[in-house]
């Protein structure tokens, strides 16, 4: 009872990741081989040789890893502009902001109108369905009425024949 069950860390990792033990061992070995001189110092951001090496290892081991992750460039140059350019840009911001607000209000009005039209369309569809249902009921009643009339007419003609024969 005092014994503790010891699990191999590779098996535990394989269970957690849902992969085979062999793949788990390959992953562990891959991460132990990362430290190479040609890859440069390990910083927070990965350098291109290191990234290429990781991508190649991922392909070799066949891990489900998105290789096409774009790394943003680390060197962004500041953009310098003259005061005239800044003032011109600020001057264009004001009309664009007003135009944006106008377009948003038009969009909102169009959305409201669209909702009203959609609701009216749904009501019209329901009304049309109800009218078709009533028309079908009327048609069925007319057919039934016509059948009853034709049957009554046949009975009357069958009754008239003996009477006409008796009169003659």
Q: Which of 49, 31, 29, 30 is nearest to 39 (CA)?
A: 49
pLDDT tops 60 at residue 7:
no
| pLDDT at 6 (0 to 100) | 45
Q: What is the rounded distance in angstroms from the CA atom of residue 87 to the CA atom of residue 150?
A: 93
Percent of the chain beyond pLDDT 90? 41
Helix %, strand %, coil % of the chain (to 5): 75, 0, 25
**In the structure, what pLDDT confidence band is assigned to residue 2 with cuts at 50, 70 and 90?**
very low
pLDDT tops 70 at residue 66:
no
Residue 150, both tokens: 């034709």
Q: Which of 52, 56, 26 is nearest to 38 (CA)?
A: 52
Residue 140, both tokens: 């069925």
Q: Which of 26, 103, 29 is nearest to 63 (CA)?
A: 26
Q: What is the rounded distance in angstroms from the CA atom of residue 57 to the CA atom of residue 30?
A: 7
- 38 vs 101: which has the higher pLDDT: 101
Among 13-27, 35-49, 67-81, 132-146, the minimum mean pLDDT is found in: 35-49
Residue 77, both tokens: 């140059």
| pLDDT at 111 (0 to 100) | 96
pLDDT tens profile 101-157: 999 999 999 999 999 999 999 999 999 999 999 999 999 999 999 999 999 988 888
pLDDT tops 60 at residue 17:
no
Q: What is the rounded distance in angstroms from the CA atom of residue 71 to the CA atom of residue 60?
A: 22
* Residue bearing tokens 């066949």: 62
Q: What is the rounded distance in angstroms from the CA atom of residue 168 to the CA atom of residue 159?
A: 15
């Amino acid at each position: 009872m005092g014994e503790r069950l010891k699990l191999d860390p590779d098996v535990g990792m394989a269970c957690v990741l849902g992969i085979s033990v062999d793949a788990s061992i390959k992953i562990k070995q891959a991460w132990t081989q990362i430290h190479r001189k040609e890859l440069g110092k390990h910083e927070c951001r990965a350098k291109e040789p290191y990234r290429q090496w990781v991508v190649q290892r991922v392909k070799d081991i066949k891990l489900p890893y998105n290789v096409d992750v774009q790394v943003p460039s680390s060197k962004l140059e500041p953009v310098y502009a003259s005061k005239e350019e800044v003032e011109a840009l600020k001057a264009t911001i004001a009309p664009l902001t007003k135009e944006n607000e106008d377009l948003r209000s038009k969009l909102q009005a169009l959305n409201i109108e669209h909702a009203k039209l959609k609701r009216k369309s749904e009501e019209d569809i329901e009304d049309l369905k109800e009218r078709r249902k009533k028309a079908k009921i009327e048609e069925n009643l007319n057919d039934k009425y016509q059948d009853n009339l034709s049957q009554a007419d046949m009975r009357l003609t069958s009754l008239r024949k003996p009477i006409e024969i008796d009169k003659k």
